[in-house]
Homo-oligomer: A and B are copies of this chain.
Amino acid sequence: MTESRSTTRKSFRREGEDKRREDLIAATLECVAERGLAGATVREIALRADVTAGLIRYYFPAKDDLIGAAYRAVMNRMTVQASDALKSAADDPRDRLNAFVKANLGQPIMDPNNLSLWAGFIGMVHADPAMALAHRDGYLGFRDELEALIREALLAAGKPAEPIHTRRHAIAVNAIIDGLWLEGCLAGDIFAEGELAETGIAAIEAVLAISLNPEKGGAI
Q: Which residues of A contact B (CB under 8 A)?
A: 33-39, 112-113, 115-116, 119-120, 122-128, 135-136, 139, 168, 171-172, 174-180, 182-183, 186-187, 196, 199-200, 202-203, 206-207, 209
Whether B171 contacts A199 by the Cβ 8 Å rule is yes
Kindly identify which residue among B123, B199, B206 contacts A37, using a CB–CB cutoff of 8 Å.
B123
Q: When the two chains form the complex, which single residue of B36, B123, B180 contacts A127, counting CB atoms closer than 8 Å?
A: B36
Tell me the complex Cα distance, A177–B179, Å: 7
CB pair B187–A136 under 8 Å, yes or no, is yes
- Please determine whether B120 and A202 come into contact, CB atoms closer than 8 angstroms: no
Q: Which residues of B contact A206 (CB under 8 A)?
A: 206-207, 209
In the complex, the answer to whether A203 meets B196 with C-beta atoms within 8 Å is no
Among B128, B135, B176, B186, contact of A179 (Cβ-Cβ < 8 Å): B176
**Are A183 and B174 within 8 A (Cβ)?**
yes
Nearest to A37 among chain B residues (CB) is: B123
Asked whether A175 and B187 contact (CB < 8 A) given A113-B126, A124-B36, A127-B34, the answer is no
Query: When the two chains form their complex, are residues A186 and B123 in contact, meaning their CB atoms are under 8 A apart?
Result: no
Query: Given that A35-B127, A36-B127, A120-B123 are contacting pairs, would A178 and B168 also be in contact in the complex, using a CB cutoff of 8 Å?
Result: no
Q: How far is the CA of A207 from the CA of B208 in the complex (A)?
A: 10
Known contacts: A120-B123, A127-B116, A177-B179. The answer to whether A172 contacts B203 by CB under 8 A is yes
CA distance in complex: A177, B115 (Å):
18
- A109 CA / B52 CA spacing, docked (Å): 44
Question: Is B207 in contact with A126, judged by CB distance below 8 angstroms?
Answer: no
Given contacts A37-B123, A171-B199, A172-B199, 13 further A-B contacts (CB under 8 A): A36-B126, A36-B127, A119-B119, A120-B123, A168-B202, A172-B203, A175-B179, A176-B176, A177-B179, A178-B182, A182-B182, A203-B203, A203-B207
